[in-house]
Structure 1
Amino acid sequence: MSTFTEGERECIVRPMKAEEVALAIEWAEQEGWNPGRHDAPCFCAADPGGFFVGELHGEPIGSISAVAYDEHFGFVGLYIVKPAFRGRGIGLRIWRHAIAYLGERNIGLDGVVAQQANYGKSGFQLAHRNIRFQGIAHGTESARISNLCDVPFEQLSIYDRQRFPAPRSGFLRAWIAQPDVVALAAMREGRMRGYGVLRKCRHGRKVGPLFADDEWTGEELFSALISRCPGEMVSIDVPQSNAAAIALAERHGMASTFETARMYTKAPPAIPMARVFGITSFELG
């Protein structure tokens, strides 16, 4: 816990209780970020101690997540200060608390492009951009696509680790089992070639992650996922560095709505970005 004095008012930064994470998710909705309906318990499963709230006289006024996936990698998100309390240095205190929690880890974040220079002052460097594509779901089922629940979890965990900077088994178990979820896998001769998750959000649905060994597998998975919600609004957050992923979104009539800057404090993790067709979330990486 850390404190600072702003005039006569004292602000406290402390770990969130599990039930308080839903408040940060609600603030994210108010910011127009369209979080998932069941994000809070899934996020907590990643690192129960990695969520912080700033309080002023007992009133929650700001939040940040600083998920420590392992001893080498962490990710910052949900960095929000209520509008009435902005411009007072409160956000900076919350930020410093989160960065201190993650210590010497390589820290990632997805920040709005306009804030890239500010994150640079904290030692973050641009790795690539992520683009949110949005459109109406029109997909096709495929007999070659399986339910992810039929795949041994260890096999999924190994595949995911090759495409994400750190192990995240606790988070994955919660993410693929949340209510209203569609989780599918592409299997070839017993070997995983890709998987994707479609979750229900406050408005429409989001695909993420979408990992695939090649463009054709990515297309097949994506089409099968969105076939489960025909006519609904669907979005996917695509790494700008993956031209095949951008082409996939455009083939499905999706349009870019905004983008973020993926930044790290150290060298970008050695991830095969050509196999990342959709990131998991802007909040947790």
Structure 2
Amino acid sequence: MSDTAPLLIRSASQAEFAEAVEWAAAEGWNPGLDDLTAFFAADPEGFLMGFRDGRAVSSISVVRYGPDYGFLGFYIVRPDRRGTGDGIATWRAGMARLEGRVIGLDGVPAQQDNYRKEGFRLAGRNIRFTGAPARTPAPRGVELRPIGAAEIAAVAVWDRPFFPAWRHEFTTLWAGPGPARRRGLVALRDGDVAGYGVIRSCRQGFKIGPLFADDREAAEALFSGLCADIPAGATVALDVPEPHGAAMALARSAGLAPAFETARMYRGRAPKLPIERTFGVTTFELG
């Protein structure tokens, strides 16, 4: 590869962006096995890659939600191209795509100062808890039902307050019936939705996200139900907003321990989201 070859930054296809997922895996991000189809449903043009001589060298996801919001993730430069300027050029292209919008991201704390220089401000921390979950019976009074074709529309509507914009297409694929390597459950009380959660297979173990619920009882029921069918000893990750004490307590009571954290930051006015009902964020890549 020649450094004199021009850097071409463009929207990548789902097949092309699979290489960025491999980079993410190499960085220890432990992506889900079936994430990309739902990601691309959110915004098919929102996954940029930089190419030199036809080879991918950088990536960034800059997904547009509605007219006013966007989320940034997958900012990765191939290790042998770091320090060459490919990364900052890709960053600028991504930021240009989200110009005029409130932008969210989940970044490692070490990069907070760099993000501040770009106009981002800290909104709070998310703590990733991991471990082999304790097997506990689900609390009574909460009905759990697999999210199928009959449930997904109600779940997508119930999800709306938890995100700054409508994301029906994403939620339908993320939580609804689909690949066997992910499973969604909805919690019901007297026939009304009280929460929902999704568990998915990853390169290592499983991740639960989102885990949204009206209260801890519904959240515990969902967590127990989602973990019921995973192999004994398998590890689970749950990304918990640090300000939500009940969610932190739920993760610890399930036998999980803090592994690392991210900084949720926004450029523009931070949205008001129901943290008190957020027991696990959906995904660090798309918010």
State if a TM-score over 0.5 links the two structures.
Answer: yes
2:221 aligns with 220
Task: Pick the aligned partner of 2:93 from 71, 91, 97.
Answer: 97
Distance in 2 of aligned mates of 1:198 and 1:65: 22
Structure 2: gaps of 5 or more residues: none
Whole-Å separation in 1 of the counterparts to 2:237 and 2:192: 28
- Which residue in 2 is equivalent to 1:87? 83
Could you tell me which residue of structure 1 aligns to residue 160 of structure 2?
161
Question: Does 25-34 or 140-149 show the bigger shift?
Answer: 140-149
Residues in 1 aligned to 2:6 and 2:115: alpha-carbon distance in whole angstroms: 26
Which SS does the other structure have where 2:148 is aligned? Answer: helix
In 1, are the aligned partners of 2:133 and 2:256 still within 8 Å (CA)? Answer: no
Alignment partners' CA distance in 2, 1:244 and 1:161: 22
Count of aligned pairs: 280
Cα deviation for residue 149 of structure 1 reads: 1.6
Q: What amino acid is the match of 2:275?
A: M
The equivalent residue for 2:272 is 270
Q: Quick check: 1:36 aligned with 2:32?
A: yes
Shift, 1:159, TM fit:
0.8
CA RMSD of aligned residues (A): 1.5
Task: Report the counterpart of residue 47 of structure 1 in structure 2.
Answer: 43
Out of 224-233 and 70-79, give the one that drifted further: 224-233
Any conservation in 2 of the 1:141–1:227 contact (CA below 8 Å)? no
CA distance in 1 between counterparts of 2:4 and 2:197 reads 50
Whole-angstrom distance in 1 between the partners of 2:271 and 2:194: 21
Please give the per-residue CA displacement for 1:62-114, whole angstroms capped at 9, x wherever unaligned.
11100101111110001100111111221111011111111211110000000
Using the TM superposition, give the Cα deviation of residue 265 of structure 1 relative to its aligned residue in structure 2, in angstroms: 0.6
What is the distance in 2 between the residues matched to 1:49 and 1:276? Answer: 29
The Cα shift of 1:8 comes to 2.7
Match of 1:3 in 2: none
What secondary structure is seen at the aligned counterpart in 2 of 1:37? Answer: coil
Question: Does the CA contact (< 8 Å) of 1:140 and 1:224 recur in 2?
Answer: no
CA contact (8 A) 1:51 1:67 kept: yes
2:127 aligned with 1:135: no
Residues in 1 aligned to 2:4 and 2:116: alpha-carbon distance in whole angstroms: 32
- Given that 1:186 and 1:221 are in contact with CA atoms closer than 8 Å, whether structure 2 keeps it comes out as yes
Q: TM-score, normalised by structure 2?
A: 0.94
* Deviation string, structure 1 residues 130-180 (Cα, Å, up to 9, x no partner): 110001033345472111226533311111011111111111121123331
SS in 2 for 1:126: strand
Match of 2:208 in 1: 207
What SS class does the counterpart of residue 26 from structure 1 fall into? helix
Contact 2:156 2:172 survives alignment (8 Å) = no
Structure 1 contact 137–227 (Cα < 8 Å) conserved: no
TM-score (norm 1): 0.94
Deviation at 1:271, TM superposition (A): 0.8
| 3-state SS of paired residue (2:7) | strand
C-alpha contact (below 8 Å) 2:153/2:172 kept by paired residues: no
Q: Distance in 1 between matches of 2:113 and 2:222?
A: 36
Deviates more, 1:121-130 or 1:150-159: 150-159
Q: Is the 8 A contact 1:65 1:98 kept in 2?
A: yes
CA contact (8 A) 1:64 1:78 kept: yes
Residues 200-247 of structure 1: CA deviation (Å, up to 9, x unaligned): 001000000000011111111111111121321110111111111110
